[in-house]
Structure 1
């Protein structure tokens, strides 16, 4: 089912793919698909899970500056660049996953992992700040919907967004 969904999402874009389309392509009943995933946003999150797992692995065991061994401020900047890379590579899929239900992005497993990672680094790099609130605020600037707005409506290049994120992080941790 996930292979069929990923293939269809890549061909048409997630917004143009129905659960019926995925069930048909996977050779399963629509009920089976709905029982397993519930809705298209959950299906999109499941398809994204392998990409996000690779990114999370790099956070935990990868080379610096994203992985351990770099100062917390450098890891925060590298995290932002890495998240922007995920958004660039899988933006439509992330949008489908993040906007399926109100606050769905914040209740999904990957968000909690990213929030924990960022708040842990903030505790080290900027102990005067509320690390949990600041982590949520930083993550908001990396969400697929916000990045799409910056790219499409504001015509910002990905590098401009990354540089702005870096300036924001550096202003918080000084």
Structure 2
């Protein structure tokens, strides 16, 4: 039996909910101040619609985060160099980190909301495991680099949403400054073989 596609109004409701939630999390100082009732009212749907579609508030935040991250992950899986497959590892690792940093900078309200809402370890989240696996796999292709597993964890720690928010929000660092500092850090981790000025994707 062919799987039924969502009705057009259901798809519109989902898009409206995600847009409303994104706006609310961006405008509120604290992610915890945004309630399901707030999102439902802003999207013009009933609370029951939200709970049926997303399960709970954490489910909504995860769905929103995944929707916003999807274009980046698609570029990583299918795109041309320096993000896509086939790029030399010493070029691809900095490009992957740069793309993730740019996403975290632009959407750090979502990252903070997700970290605050989840009761589980952030290291078991689906998106974290996907990025860690990807980085570890690429790092294992770098000659002379030992322990790609730990190195992938260490590099991902440099783009955590709370760190990006601390540097950008509390210390006023701009995106380009953070990109340059991250590129330098990645180059030191990877060794002298990493190209100078790497990490300029997106």
Q: TM-score, normalised by structure 1?
A: 0.86
Counterpart residue number, 1:106 = 123
Contact 1:126 1:172 in 2 (8 A): no
Deviation >6 Å, runs of 4+: none
Contact 2:122 2:128 in 1 (8 A): yes
CA 35–10 in structure 1, closer or farther in 2 if over 3 Å, else same: closer
Instruction: Report the count of equivalent residues.
Output: 173
CA 128–22 in structure 1, closer or farther in 2 if over 3 Å, else same: same
Higher helix share: 1
Contact 2:25 2:113 in 1 (8 A): no
Mapped to 2, the partners of 1:8 and 1:132 lie a distance apart of: 37
Mapped to 1, the partners of 2:135 and 2:45 lie a distance apart of: 41
Shift of 1:160: 1.7
Which runs of 5 or more structure 2 residues have no equivalent in the other structure?
Answer: 1-12, 192-202
Contact 2:36 2:47 in 1 (8 A): no
Please state if 1:172 is matched with 2:184: no
Mapped to 2, the partners of 1:171 and 1:115 lie a distance apart of: 19
Please show how residues 1-174 of structure 1 align to structure 2 within 5 Å: 2-13=14-25, 15=31, 16-24=33-41, 25=43, 27-30=45-48, 33-34=50-51, 36-125=53-142, 127-174=144-191
Shift of 1:87: 1.3
Quote the RMSD (CA, aligned, Å): 2.2
Q: TM-score, normalised by structure 2?
A: 0.75
Shift of 1:36: 4.6
Task: State the SS of the aligned residue for 2:82.
Answer: coil
Mapped to 1, the partners of 2:121 and 2:14 lie a distance apart of: 20
Task: State the SS of the aligned residue for 1:115.
Answer: helix
Mapped to 2, the partners of 1:144 and 1:56 lie a distance apart of: 17
